[in-house]
């Protein structure tokens, strides 16, 4: 049976992840590109599935108790706070990239800086914590790691795509049209370039690690230029 790298174990414990059985933590840190058999064959996908739900419930509960905002505003903030982009940002903040188990090609292709991979592994670690210690412990760690995000402005402002659509309607313009005009990199570290245009007004482009994030940035750029 394989064991966690000592540096990874020390790092996990420094983040507040108490380790009894190493197996779920090893699984949470292992990308599908990492070659191996037996215990090493498992990757983070099942734990990511679980961690995503634990994160969502924890953040939804915090928002419900902390604010009297209506459902629409609660959903807007929840979506922003549990997004892959936010999870990846927190993963970078706590130093997760150095401890992900990737295959050589995935690492060479920049997998340790992929928002998708970092976000997924962050959720997998939450899943591992839930499996090993239960909901209350996982929730408390989420509240600590997400403290700045929860107390900050993440998700409070209108999503740029919604804001752009409202701007277009308010100015009697055509509906914004989004188009993927470029894609590069392997599937696990893909980069998307999206162009948003409004007829008789103009266009703007942005590039990101996901189509949705590229659309968001393109809408933001359009509003900054034409709004």
Distance between CA atoms of 10 and 139, rounded to whole angstroms? 21
From 22, 123, 149, 213, active-site residue: 123
From 22, 48, 52, 149, active-site residue: 52
Sheet of 177-184: strand order equals 177-184, 191-198, 202-208
52 classed as catalytic = yes
Nearest to 187 by CA among 205, 206, 210: 210
Judge whether 202 and 144 are in contact, CB under 8 Å: no
10 classed as catalytic = no
> What is the chain's mean pLDDT, rounded?
89
Share of the chain above pLDDT 90, in %: 59
The 10s digit of each residue's pLDDT in 188-207 is 778 899 999 999 999 999 99
pTM: 0.71
Domains of the chain: 6-151 (1.10.1520.10), 160-226 (3.30.160.20)
Does residue 82 surpass a pLDDT of 90?
yes
The 10s digit of each residue's pLDDT in 130-176 is 999 999 999 999 999 999 889 876 555 577 888 898 888 888 899 99
């Amino acid at each position: 049976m394989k064991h966690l790298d000592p540096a990874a174990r020390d790092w996990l414990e420094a983040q507040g992840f108490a380790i009894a059985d190493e197996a779920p933590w090893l699984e949470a840190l292992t990308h599908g590109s990492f070659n191996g058999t037996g215990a090493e064959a498992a990757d983070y996908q099942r734990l990511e599935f679980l961690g995503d739900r634990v994160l969502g419930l924890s953040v939804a509960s915090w928002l419900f108790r902390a604010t009297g905002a209506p459902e629409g505003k609660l959903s807007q903030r929840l979506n922003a706070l549990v997004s892959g982009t936010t999870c990846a940002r927190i993963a970078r903040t706590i130093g997760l990239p150095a401890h992900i188990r990737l295959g050589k090609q995935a690492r060479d292709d920049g997998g340790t800086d992929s928002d998708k991979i970092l976000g997924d592994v962050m959720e997998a670690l939450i899943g591992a914590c839930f499996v090993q210690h239960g909901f209350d412990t996982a929730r408390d760690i989420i509240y600590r790691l997400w403290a700045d995000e929860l107390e900050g402005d993440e998700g409070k402002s209108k999503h740029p795509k919604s804001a752009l659509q409202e701007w277009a309607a308010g100015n009697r313009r055509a509906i914004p049209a989004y188009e993927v005009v470029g894609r590069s990199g392997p599937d696990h570290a893909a980069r998307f370039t999206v162009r948003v245009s409004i007829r008789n007004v103009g266009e703007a482009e942005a590039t990101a690690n996901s189509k949705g994030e590229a659309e968001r940035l393109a809408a933001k750029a359009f509003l900054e230029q034409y709004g």
